[in-house]
Structure 1
Amino acid sequence: MALGVDRITNTVYVESNSFDPWLNLAIEEYLLNSYARDSSVLYLWQNEKTVVIGRNQNAWQECRLDNLERDGGRLARRLSGGGAVYHDLGNLNFTFLMPRKEYNLHRQLSVIVDAVKELGIEAHFSGRNDILAGGKKFSGNAFYHGQFASYHHGTILIDVDTGKLSEYLNVSKEKIESKGVKSVVSRVVNLKEMKPDLTIDTMKKAMYRGFIEEYGQIDNVLDFERVIESEDIGGLYEKYSSKEWLLGRNPEF
């Protein structure tokens, strides 16, 4: 354990059993507001067939909404910045939430790196806050800083259908000419390619152990069903599922 012996905050763990992106993002903001002022929180969650765009992105420019809706997928917008990403059930999302004074990107990324190494896969940070294995990216990250607390969230690619990237995400003509979707796919890797027996559940358990290793024994494991009964969740869900949040911020296009 790096600094856990001298920790200032409590440690909290919660795992979502929903694949609804609007609910999962509502819970993330609820944890930020209700727990992260005085606790270090690890939140694990998954979305099913979802394109998630950054706070300031234009949905019509970033996403092929017709294709997504045709296939029963959902569009979601997060609080953090950054680019558009595709989530399916081959991907595990994580969020570290904590008081601003406790926020330390290197420590947070270390939890993921150590968890993956424990599973027998060599991993390391890149200069862009991505995490690489075999020279390819398996985890991308984004960040949000509130007045009192911050969060850092991202993806861990286990067995994502990378073929859907070009189906649901718009790629500019310039990117197609200079890099191409195939090139983008060639720079990412599913961890299952390196460890064929790897499952989402195995990765969750490794993250749980890695969190304890870095931050100390977990003080509070939140019951997901009780979390979603919290009175704040309903209003947050309305926000994340509203057309105004998803599309209304877009400039005229």
Structure 2
Amino acid sequence: MTQPVQTKIVLSDSFDPWHNLALEEFLFRNVEKNQVILYLWQNQNTVVIGRNQNAWKECRCTKLEDDGGKLARRLSGGGAVFHDLGNLNFTFILDRALYDLKKQLQVILEAVKKLGIHAEFTGRNDLTVDGKKFSGNAFYFEGDKAYHHGTIMIDVDVQKVSAYLQVSKEKMASKGVDSVRSRVTNLHNYRPELTIDEMKETLKQSFQELYGESPEPVLIKENDHDLKELYAKYSSWDWLYGKTPQFDVVFETRFPWGGIDLGLTLNKGIVTESKIYSDAMNANLIEQIASSLIERPLKSESIGKGLDVLEVNEEDKPIIEDMKTWLQTKIAEI
């Protein structure tokens, strides 16, 4: 007999991104079999970048820090986003066997529908109203656990979005727009009286309607859990910025599935270091691709073989083929 899904709603009272991402990973590490957690949280004046992105390229870091903001890096892939208290973040943390993107997104779409706003899922990871994004989503998988998190822009200061984010012209061109501000919107524009608390309530209702009744939401205060190690990780220079080596060879391009900025260090024609900065959604795959190039001669055939031996699922094979064709062409041009 199939067991009913265990549901849990967790709220954070902190606006510190390093604490909230530490709590997110803590919940992820401890999610149980047959359990789905809805975690709701907010960050103040924060730029959050994807797992494999180059902080200096994605964010005007000095300006952000001068203005009292924080840079944060998440576990998942995808692109950079700006958070302030006009934004509500959600995370579905769950047993991987229960992962169902359509159902998870339906929670958000139904919640927005309750507010009288018609929204839809478009592109690779966006929820939109009238073609403008109010929610970006990203995903992370590890072993038998998964999470899916995203933003809900209610009354975000869009001037700060363009002030702190540095989006490449190639990415803008791929979306057919010419500025960050032109492609995002706040739900406030469709329901001026909407508050964060009202959005939270409709999300809780929608979540329980789709997944089943939950116990009373758990409000976690900053000192409720021992998150020191995870907090230290998310606030560390190495995690946020990492090292930026002087590469011997740099290749850059944009595919429909994400941008690639590949740096290679060579010793006598052999790749000794490989780093890929990317906003591709599958963060682990990007790291696998980078690792596959190490200790190989910078020759088309050898690089191709390195990619061929990677064990990937069917949906990731086109990415491997794109990378293989592109790299072999670039190497031939050297």
Q: TM-score, normalised by structure 1?
A: 0.90
Q: For 1:230, which of 206, 225, 233 is the aligned residue?
A: 225
1:242 to 2:236 alignment = yes
Residue range with higher mean Cα deviation, 161-170 or 49-58:
161-170
Question: CA offsets per residue over residues 141-185 of structure 1, 9 Å max, x none?
Answer: 000001121000000010111111221112335557887986332
User: Aligned in 2, Cα 1:54/1:107: closer, same or farther, shift over 3 Å?
Assistant: same
Paired amino acid for 1:229 = D
The answer to whether the 8 Å contact 2:177/2:183 transfers is: no
CA contact (8 A) 1:57 1:250 kept: no
CA drift of 1:53 comes to 0.5
Q: Give yes or no for contact 2:85–2:156 (8 Å, CA) kept in 1.
A: yes
For 1:32, give the aligned amino acid.
Answer: F
What is the aligned partner in structure 1 of residue 322 from structure 2? Answer: none
Partners of 1:175 and 1:38 in 2: CA distance: 38
SS of corresponding position for 1:144: strand
User: Compared with structure 1, are the counterparts of its residues 20 and 110 closer, same or farther at alpha carbon in structure 2 (3 Å cutoff)?
Assistant: same
Indicate conservation of the 8 Å contact 1:47/1:87, yes or no: yes
CA contact 1:10–1:219 (8 Å) conserved in 2 = no
Report the identity percentage. Answer: 57
Q: CA deviation at 1:230?
A: 2.5
Describe how 1:47-196 pairs up with structure 2 within 5 A: 47-174=43-170, 183-196=179-192
Q: 1:197-220, CA deviations, whole angstroms, 9 ceiling, x for partnerless residues?
A: 001110000000010011000036
Distance 1:194 1:238 in 2: 40
Which shifted more, 206-215 or 125-134? 125-134
CA distance in 2, matches of 1:249, 1:157: 32
User: Could you tell me the TM-score, scaled by structure 2's length?
Assistant: 0.69
Q: 1:174 to 1:134 in 2, by over 3 A?
A: closer
- Equivalent-residue separation in structure 2 for 1:164 and 1:121 (angstroms): 25
Change (3 A) 1:217 1:175: closer
Q: In 1, distance between residues paired with 2:106 and 2:3? A: 16
Q: More strand per residue: 1 or 2?
A: 2
Residues of 2 paired with 1:249 and 1:215: CA distance? 43
3-state DSSP of counterpart to 1:140: strand
- Provide the rounded CA distance (Å) in 1 between the counterparts of 2:146 and 2:27: 11
Distance 1:186 1:7, change over 3 A: farther
Gaps of 5+ in 2: 248-334
Residue identity in the other structure for 2:60: R
Q: Where in structure 1 are there 5+ consecutive unaligned residues?
A: 1-5
**Larger gyration radius, structure 1 or structure 2:** 2
1:230 maps to a residue whose letter is: H
Match of 1:217 in 2: 213
Secondary structure, in 3 states, of the residue corresponding to 1:183?
Answer: coil
What is the CA distance between 1:187 and its match in structure 2?
A: 1.8
Task: Measure the CA separation in 2 of the matches of 1:99 and 1:69.
Answer: 37
Query: Higher relative contact order by CA 8 Å / sep ≥ 6: 1 or 2?
Result: 1
Q: CA 1:83 to 1:7, structure 2 compared with 1: closer, same or farther past 3 Å? A: farther
